[in-house]
Structure 1
């Protein structure tokens, strides 16, 4: 994989002080844990950094940022004449013809599912799964739309799933297989893997794992109107349609998230400035055409509007029209800071043990991860979790000395510390997701409690908290 070209902020007209202020704001807000960022201006990487133990080569679960990749696959399929936006969705699933009798469902077009405008007034995922657990497209089409398709916006996972299912049906390939020669290889995107459902399809609406660099490259492709290194990959007409308002939102609640009220394109949100793809807990691909800039971020936060607000507050004013002179020291200080980014490990000092202690669940306190049945802490602070009947040996937790990183059986970073004389706290960061599992072990009664700092949206045993391997 070739590296993107790099430059200093000043050479591209970006004030390093604005980037420093943005980093300060991210790191000082206890509600935000940043994991990575890449900032591009005029096609050059002017700032990039990963908060250790996160690293550039590691794929991340993008959650709903996956939708923008699904839209890109649909754009290729439209360009190749495999899909037409004004075809009825049902025409791609003739086996459901007799089942789908609601006239609004039958009138739903491909462009409607691409723009979250199928006519439903709210999310349909639970209802669609209840109607057909094995075939989500059928379940979705069985949920009667509340209004005429194309007249109302509702953020709706099965709409994107259906768009991705159409692509997979007409191409005969998984989304990753179809995108590999058309997007991933031309852009220099390396490892990418997508979670499958029980029907064998890649989800489309979530579940893609890719690097921060891949996010930045997708944003740059759209910023350049579908052209990459002088070669047109996506039609400019698709890029224009995908990134303009296809369906307006009804007015949101007072004090709501303004950057989620600006309208929706084809699996891209329109922002107060530019447009973006984003995913739960702070995964962003922000494209700023007026500034000729792209910002890719991965993080763990429930305050996504706050992250966007900080971009507008600190980064937007940092973009100037011309190169800046005399800023070598500021650029060097920023580069040094970006090289040293790190998350603090668990507090309380390093943990040692002479023998292995087995902790069992405290009664009624492990609902966050009920399949976790034992925690073992051995010599050197070595941690083993017993989850879903499987032993996950995660390595030693070094407390104040830093994080211990293990790639198998699941990619994690582990640290631990003493909350008090009787309580050991273990922080397990699942490095290919945004999530931390916090485990507290009580020495006095030999029990543990476990809670997710942010709850994973794809539930299951801990061994699945990673990018799928050997797929796509």
Structure 2
């Protein structure tokens, strides 16, 4: 399903509507994390500390819920992979809002290179906002989704995502609803304005910048960033990839931004993006990444395409996962799950499950971790 078709579906629906004592001791889990070369190094599930029965249970969960692929890695080695519905290891599919987490890392790389700062006013790079109520919106506000930029469902998903030819121009031209830092919305249009910020700061289209500084170094050979109809980069969505390539991206972030001895993005930036809440308005949100901090939680269902009413609640995004877990999430339950304390990166891609509660950061990550010995 294309992104435009997916948005149309959302819009239509929304608008109209215990081990025995003599069991062998588990093998020790490897402690050294390696980076994949052109191909992933593989490790036997037992050697990686996984129960095969637990992985089979995970397979059944995903196979019965419209999944295309599943990858589980530990300490940089491929433990388990499965493919369904005609997909193969190199079958590219849209990742939808998982793209946002790539955009986050690009902003981090640009900051590391001295091309911008998170606390810069975005109007430094978007001159149309100078002298308007949007002048004081910072890059950090755009990454945190508390920019106060205009948001309503029809504008965001129909006007911008489905219809706008130049999505950046459309998003930049929207009005300011509130002062920065006062309201939280899962705001695709606000995030799309980061395309203008990155273009002005780096002198390149974000997709070209990613090819040089991210996809190439990580060996993500089956990943492309498809432009909008104006041939500009969509920073809220637009990447097509595979489970294995997404696992490379997740592993790089778990490694603190290093890959094969090369610094991709600073550990400091990743700590900001994935290691804590970016706003008290939503404890589950970092900088275009989802985190597992306790507090008011809002928006994860929206991120993965639910049309159910979504109310804020107090707790954690994934109670079955450790506090240090974090996620990239996209429409149709695309999930990159990263659990640094367990050395685990797991990916699920597919289309929307019939029961949307079956595949979530909590249930998917929990099922992966349940398979550990």
Q: Would you say the 8 A contact 1:176–1:192 is kept in 2?
A: no
Q: How many angstroms does 1:26 deviate by?
A: 2.5
- Find the partner of 2:272 among 211, 224, 241: 241
Query: Which of 131, 138, 161 is the equivalent residue of 1:109?
Result: 138
Contact 1:125 1:158 in 2 (8 A): yes
The one-character-per-residue Cα deviations of 1:211-258 (angstroms, maximum 9, x if unpaired) are 2211000000011111112332210001111112102446xxxxxxxx
Pick 1 or 2: higher relative contact order, CA cutoff 8 A, min separation 6.
2
Q: Evaluate the alpha carbon distance shift between residue 181 and residue 210 of structure 1 in structure 2; reply closer, same or farther with a 3 A threshold.
A: same
Deviation by residue 1:243-301 (Cα, 9 ceiling, x = unmatched): 12102446xxxxxxxxxxx5211111114231100110121111012211000111111
Find the counterpart in structure 1 of residue 91 from structure 2. 58
Which protein is richer in strand relative to its size?
A: 1
Deviation at 1:305, TM superposition (A): 4.0
| Matching residue of 2:24 | none
Query: Which residue of structure 2 lines up, in the alignment, with residue 293 of structure 1?
Result: 344
Unaligned runs of 5+ in 1: 251-261, 321-472
Match of 1:19 in 2: 55
Map 1:173-252 to 2 at 5 A.
Answer: 173-243=204-274, 244-249=276-281
| Cα gap change, 1:86 to 1:313, in 2 (>3 Å) | closer
Q: In structure 1, the residue corresponding to 2:195 is in which secondary structure?
A: helix
Judge conservation of contact 1:119–1:148 (CA < 8 Å) in 2: yes
Question: 1:37 matched to which residue of 2?
Answer: 70
Unaligned runs of 5+ in 2: 1-36, 293-317
Q: CA RMSD in A?
A: 2.4
State the distance in 2 between where 1:286 and 1:301 align: 17
1:164 shift after superposition: 2.5
* Counterpart pick for 2:372 among 310, 319, 328: 319
Q: 1:97 to 1:282 in 2, by over 3 A?
A: closer
* C-alpha contact 1:74 1:164 (8 A) present in aligned 2: no
CA shift, 1:154, in A, is 0.7
Cα distance in 2 for residues equivalent to 1:206 and 1:72: 14
- CA distance in structure 1 between the partners assigned to 2:117 and 2:60 by the alignment: 47
User: In structure 1, how many angstroms separate the alpha carbons of the residues matched to 2:78 and 2:164?
Assistant: 44
1:160 corresponding residue in structure 2: 191
Which of 325, 328, 333 aligns to 1:277? It is 328
Specify the alignment match of 1:10 in structure 2: 46
- Tell me if the contact between 1:249 and 1:263 (Cα under 8 Å) persists in the aligned partners: no
Alignment of structure 1 residues 111-126 onto 2, 5 Å? 111-120=140-149, 122-123=151-152, 125=156
Report the TM-score, using the length of structure 2 for normalisation.
0.74
The answer for the alignment partner of 1:77 in structure 2 is: 110
- The question of whether the paired residues in 1 share the 8 Å contact of 2:104 and 2:288 is answered with yes
Query: Where do 1:447-466 residues align within 5 Å?
Result: none
Secondary structure of the 1:47 match is strand
Contact 2:126 2:196 in 1 (8 A): no
Deviations 1:12-58 (CA, angstroms, capped at 9, x unpaired):
11112111111122234xxx201001101111110012114111112
For normalisation by structure 1, the TM-score amounts to 0.59
1:65 and 1:279 in contact (8 A); partners too:
yes
In the TM superposition, residue 198 of structure 1 has moved relative to its aligned partner by: 3.8
| SS of equivalent to 1:19 | helix
Alpha-carbon separation, structure 1, partners of 2:262 and 2:99: 24
Q: Deviations over 1:296-327 (max 9, x none)?
A: 1111115554212432443222224xxxxxxx
Per mean C-alpha deviation after superposition, the further-off stretch among 51-60 and 106-115 is: 51-60
Query: Residue 359 of structure 2 is aligned with which of 307, 320, 341?
Result: 307
SS in 2 for 1:84: coil
How far apart in 1 are the matches of 2:288 and 2:253? 13
CA distance in 2, matches of 1:193, 1:315: 28
Contact 1:120/1:152, CA 8 A, preserved across alignment: no
- Does the aligned pair in 1 maintain the 2:167–2:228 contact within 8 Å? no
How far apart, CA to CA, are the structure 1 residues paired with 2:164 and 2:81? Answer: 42
CA distance in 1: counterparts of 2:105 and 2:121, whole angstroms: 20
SS in 1 for 2:335: strand
Does the CA contact (< 8 Å) of 2:76 and 2:251 recur in 1?
yes
- Deviation beyond 3 Å, 4+ runs, structure 1: 120-124, 126-130, 132-146, 302-305
Question: 1:197 offset after TM fit, Å?
Answer: 2.3
Secondary structure at the aligned position of 1:301 is classed as coil
